[in-house]
Amino acid sequence: MSETVQKTIRYRVGIIGGTGNIGEGLARRICIGGKYDVSLGSRDPAKAETAADGVTCCLSERKCEIGATCSGGSNASVCDADIIILSVPFDKVESTIETIGKSAFENKIVVSLINPMLRFPKEKYFLPDRPAEGSAALAIKKMLPASAKLTTAFNNVASGKWMELDEELDYSVCVCGDDEEAKRIVMDLVASVSKLVPLDAGPLACAATIESITPLVITLAMRNGLKDVGVYFK
């Protein structure tokens, strides 16, 4: 009888633009969950390495013994991951993809958490800034190779919440995508983070609404004396 060796295979998550607040907070949250290894990418690889060291330090401080690892490098270097999260401003997405090279995204699961916004802070409201395609997601889909499986997720989590690691995140996270298997894989990733609740929110055509909820919750915060408004569908 042959001996079977059981080995936990972790999906690897690459975060492009991983040195911002959201990217680094997301890396910590995913690593703490323990089910994924994370690579942080940046235009400046040294900065990404420092950020990754910060995540590793944080894991050891929190006595996480689950063995998830975090490394840093160039944006291109993180594209060997199974799931690539785009965490750069919308107006930098196209040039970032071009710099890395479109072919790096062939057959990859790509996640956009990007919500382009028009800001009217004096008048106390924000609006979605929809590109001609109808949503950032539909515009980004056109920038990627046809074989890439684009999904949206994490759009409405308040950016300030990612780094507050002692706070549980129990929000609903709407996940859109045209590839059902990729969507399931991304919903599993969402479920691995704190107490987030992934919800199937339909095909990529539905992403415009999810993207517009972020300027809405910022508006609600500004006008109703709230902070870091959470979104719950239940």
Alpha carbon 175 to chain centroid, angstroms: 11
Instruction: Give the whole-angstrom CA distance, residue 33 versus residue 169.
Output: 12
Q: How far is the CB of 80 from its own copies (least distance, A)?
A: 32
Q: Which residues contact 176 (CB under 8 A, 6 or more apart)?
A: 137, 151, 152, 183, 201, 202, 203, 204, 205, 206, 207, 210
Per DSSP, helices labelled H in 16-158 are 21-33, 45-61, 90-100, 136-143
Q: Is residue 114 near its own copies by the rule CB under 8 A?
A: no
Contact, 210 vs 174, CB < 8 A? yes
Q: Which residue number, 67 or 160, has a Cβ lying nearer to its own copies?
A: 160
Contact, 36 vs 14, CB < 8 A? no
Contact segment (CB under 8 A) with its own copies among 66-74, 75-83, 117-125, 161-169 equals: 117-125
Q: Is residue 227 near its own copies by the rule CB under 8 A?
A: no
Q: Is residue 200 near its own copies by the rule CB under 8 A?
A: yes
Q: Is residue 123 near its own copies by the rule CB under 8 A?
A: yes
Q: Is residue 195 near its own copies by the rule CB under 8 A?
A: no
Q: Is residue 224 near its own copies by the rule CB under 8 A?
A: yes
Contact, 90 vs 82, CB < 8 A? no
Q: Is residue 210 near its own copies by the rule CB under 8 A?
A: yes
Range list of β-strands (E), 95-167: 109-112, 117-120, 125-128, 149-152
Site string (127-146) toward its own copies, x via CB under 8 A: xx------------------
41-80 binders of its own copies (CB under 8 A)? none
Q: Which residue number, 45 or 134, has a Cβ lying nearer to its own copies?
A: 134
Binding site for its own copies (CB under 8 A): 123-125, 127-128, 174, 199-203, 205-206, 208-210, 212-213, 215-217, 219-220, 223-224, 226, 229-234
